[in-house]
């Protein structure tokens, strides 16, 4: 399907309490970002990858990640913006896809994605224009006021935790980002921008193992899950 992949990897990772940004922390002996990029490097439908890194780390990412680990499909490392939304927009401007081409946006610190999920979300986006991977919430969710008083308990059956990749026809996600940029709208993820712009987004059921490494505990869990998956192969 000649997919174009944007990999935002510009987070500071303050919650990791480490001396290095979380995308460069070691997971099973290699940086987290390397595991993530390898998923797409090895996928036959992926044509191009664009990594989005903090401006101060662009050269480091090129030399120590892309070149060192020989990622042939990475076309460039793009300088990120002030927030994730700005970084993704920079990536969209850089990749310059055709209007109907599919673009997948995937967090650089979600290294346990499966190739099957890439296929599923891409197929859904090709059919519907926009799709997001997610998982049904396991716990009861409470809506709480600023003073921590419970105001509502939404029906759990209607609640899903959004993950990545999120897949879109290029014209749809580019238009949503451009509108948000010019109108000063800030979304919580890329799919929320499409929703805000009036678009329709479908949900693809993901995998609870497709975790985002944000805290030290996440890194420990990712190590265990990765070891388990390697034992099964």
Distance CA 217, CA 222 (A): 9
SS3 at position 162:
strand
In a domain, 193, yes or no: yes
In a domain, 216, yes or no: yes
Q: What is the residue range of 118's domain?
A: 3-131+164-232
pLDDT at 179: 98
Write the CATH number for 71: 3.90.550.10
CB atoms under 10 Å from CB of 158, counted, come to 9
Q: Identify the helix (H) or strand (E) that includes residue 182.
A: helix 170-183
In a domain, 158, yes or no: no
In a domain, 151, yes or no: no
In a domain, 153, yes or no: no
Comparing CA positions, the residue from 20, 1, 11 lying closest to residue 164 is 11
pTM above 0.85, yes or no: yes
pLDDT in tens, 113-159: 999 999 999 999 999 999 999 999 999 999 999 999 999 999 999 99
Q: Quote the number of domains for the chain.
A: 1
pLDDT in tens, 167-222: 999 999 999 999 999 999 999 999 999 999 999 999 999 999 999 998 889 999 99
In a domain, 211, yes or no: yes
Distance CA 155, CA 140 (A): 8
105-118 core/surface letters (b: 16 or more CB in 10 A; e: else): bbbbbbbbbeeebb
Angle CA 109–106–166, to nearest 5: 140
In a domain, 156, yes or no: no
In a domain, 155, yes or no: no
């Amino acid at each position: 399907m000649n997919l174009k992949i944007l990999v935002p990897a510009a987070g500071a990772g303050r919650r990791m309490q480490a001396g290095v940004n979380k995308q460069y922390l070691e997971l099973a002996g290699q940086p987290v970002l390397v595991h993530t990029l390898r998923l797409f490097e090895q996928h036959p439908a992926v044509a191009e990858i664009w990594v989005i890194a903090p401006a101060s780390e662009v050269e480091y990412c090129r030399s120590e990640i892309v070149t060192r680990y020989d990622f042939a499909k990475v076309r460039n490392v793009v300088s990120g913006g002030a927030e994730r939304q700005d970084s993704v927009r920079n990536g969209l401007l850089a990749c310059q896809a055709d209007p109907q081409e599919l673009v997948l946006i995937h967090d650089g610190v979600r290294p346990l994605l499966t190739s099957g999920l890439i296929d599923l979300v891409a197929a859904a986006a090709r059919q519907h224009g926009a799709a997001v991977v997610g998982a049904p919430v396991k716990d009861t969710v409470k809506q709480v006021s600023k003073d921590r008083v419970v105001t509502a308990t939404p029906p759990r059956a209607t609640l899903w935790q959004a993950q990545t990749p999120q897949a879109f026809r290029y014209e749809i996600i580019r238009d949503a980002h451009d509108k948000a940029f010019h109108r000063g709208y800030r979304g919580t993820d890329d799919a929320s921008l499409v929703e805000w712009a009036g678009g329709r987004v479908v949900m693809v059921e993901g995998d609870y193992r497709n975790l985002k490494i944000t805290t030290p505990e996440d890194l420990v869990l990712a190590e265990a899950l990765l070891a388990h998956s390697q034992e099964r192969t």
